[in-house]
Amino acid sequence: MATTSKSASARKTSGRRRRSGRRDPLAVRLLKADHREAEGWFDEYEQLEDDADKLALFSRIALALKVHTTLEEEIFYPEERGDVEEDMLDEAYVEHDGAKKLIAEIEAMKPGDDYYDAKVKVLGEYIKHHVKEEEQPGGIFAQAKKGDEDLEAMGERMQARKDELMAEMAPAKAN
């Protein structure tokens, strides 16, 4: 009896390991972590009532999305050409452009303006859709993981570039 339950639990563990596969390589881990962070912030935004809090949180979202899309456009997407379907990458660039336009529109407004909250909400939905295209089975990340690029080394370069971009793109502090 004890032996049976032990082997059943051993089977379960190895099954779990097989299903989840190996840990994602660094480049993919970094990008997925950004996705989770942005999703969390969009959820948090919905709970806010105060205009100053909304503005502060949106500024954080906007900076993070600009840095993230730049990292993907400068490093991840171009280096994955050849490993990932062309059409899928082309659509991802177009979706980034759509998100950037919406971010710029929101940045030109202030919380409390008509459609401000609606635009933030639509941006969140738009990002969610885009993230799905990147993360879903057979999507951009899955294809990249099957490809030839060294996603650990790429991840190191992305992390370094991310630190630079965060400093470059952060809005100048008012004095």
The whole-angstrom separation of Cα 11 and Cα 23 is 20
Whose Cβ is closer to Fe ion: residue 31's or residue 103's? 31
Whose Cβ is closer to Fe ion: residue 38's or residue 106's? 38
Whose Cβ is closer to Fe ion: residue 15's or residue 82's? 82
Residue 174 one-letter amino acid = A
Binding span for Fe ion by CB under 5 A among 17-25, 29-37, 100-108, 144-152: 29-37
Query: How far apart are CB 74 and Fe ion at their closest, in Å?
Result: 12
Query: Quick check: helix, strand or coil at residue 108?
Result: coil
Count of positions on this chain that bind Fe ion (CB under 5 A): 3
Region at 135 (left for phi over 0; alpha for psi -120 to 50; beta for the rest): alpha
87 within 8 A of 60, measured Cβ to Cβ: no
Site for Fe ion in 54-83 (CB under 5 A): 72
Q: Which residue is nearest to Fe ion (CB)?
A: 72
Whose Cβ is closer to Fe ion: residue 27's or residue 31's? 31
Query: How far apart are CB 16 and Fe ion at their closest, in Å?
Result: 27
Which of 161, 152, 133 minimizes the C-alpha distance to 26? 152
Query: How far apart are CB 110 and Fe ion at their closest, in Å?
Result: 27
Binding span for Fe ion by CB under 5 A among 8-16, 23-31, 36-44, 54-62: 23-31
The total number of residues shown for the chain amounts to 175
Binding span for Fe ion by CB under 5 A among 15-23, 36-44, 119-127, 130-138: 130-138
In sequence order, what DSSP letters do the residues of 130-160 get, joined into one string? HHHHHHSTTSHHHHHHHSSS-HHHHHHHHHH
CA–centroid distance for 135 within its chain: 9
Residues that bind Fe ion (CB under 5 A): 31, 72, 134
